[in-house]
Structure 1
């Protein structure tokens, strides 16, 4: 696979879209190919590094800023960093590129309909958000902006995780991306 050392692959999309599952599968593929990698996951970092943050607009921005700074450190060490974060707004996705360097970021929109994400809701978060037990939940009462400027879209509703990984691999190799329908 053609991949520069220090590349940051930033997977973003709604909760339940398959970002973490895709990140795990992509990480496994890269490790098998001999790449030094690190995964940074939203749920994991919100329990540690970002445990002091909530889900207000300013907290979401700080969450992404901190993660981008950590990803930049790994990037500077030559590590391929796979980040899986909702990153709901275009301004946040631009912030990531500004911090890390747009030439080092491959931002992948993990596309999946809200209806399918709700069906996949293993943590019960959408149910709580729909019942107003959780406020500012992306896709319910907090906006997710459809991306305009990004490297690649993979649709986990219409293709398997394996095909999504293959789509990313083909993109990284500069070849044709698989159809997602």
Structure 2
């Protein structure tokens, strides 16, 4: 195909994903944590990143703090903004995964449709959905940010688990309930899932 009729000619000259993965000695993958606020998503993600790093695996965490303060700082919490938030996260994640990086996302992402959209963008074969299924009562008991209390008082609208629904994944790659599993147990289950897929 010549450049005159190729709309994106630069892609013919760019290094491939396989080139990047060979350089890193690992395969890219998307570990997508979903669950209620306070379920333990970020805590597990951070512990997983440290464990993978110690094994020489290049990874990157994406969470609300580093996304909402940067690439998505113009978005609110309307339904349309929540969808756009996840769409942008998925597009950024795809770039990381295509570079051979193990990418870890920790977002409530409350509906099956929104998570399916993310998986479709990133690629189903690279997308590992991990459901942190910690019960609402335990999440609310932890409530380190006081968000559930504010939602109960009506100070936060459309709060997932209180005034907005959360759809549990039908077929997650892994389910972790941090009310019964220790952090170490959760990470070990994740390693058993991830390591064979990334070639380490």
TM-score by length of 1: 0.91
**What's the CA shift string for 1:2-59, capped at 9, x where partnerless?**
x951101011100000000000000000000000111001233112221221222111
Residues 1-181 of structure 1 aligned to structure 2 (within 5 Å): 5-172=27-194
For the residue of structure 2 that corresponds to 1:28, the secondary structure is helix
The answer as to whether partners of 2:26 and 2:57 remain within 8 angstroms in 1 is no
The answer as to whether partners of 2:31 and 2:130 remain within 8 angstroms in 1 is yes
1: CA distance between counterparts of 2:155 and 2:86? 24
For the residue of structure 1 that corresponds to 2:132, the secondary structure is strand
Report the structure, 1 or 2, having the larger helix content.
2
The answer as to whether partners of 2:36 and 2:139 remain within 8 angstroms in 1 is yes
Uncovered stretches (5+) of structure 2, i.e. residues with no partner: 1-24
For the residue of structure 1 that corresponds to 2:155, the secondary structure is coil
Q: Corresponding residue for 2:6? A: none
TM-score by length of 2: 0.83
Q: Corresponding residue for 1:178? A: none
2: CA distance between counterparts of 1:129 and 1:166? 34
Q: Rg: which structure is higher?
A: 2
Q: CA deviation at 1:105?
A: 0.8
Q: CA deviation at 1:147?
A: 1.1
For the residue of structure 2 that corresponds to 1:53, the secondary structure is coil
Uncovered stretches (5+) of structure 1, i.e. residues with no partner: 175-181
Question: Runs in 1 of length 4+ with deviation above 2 angstroms?
Answer: 171-174
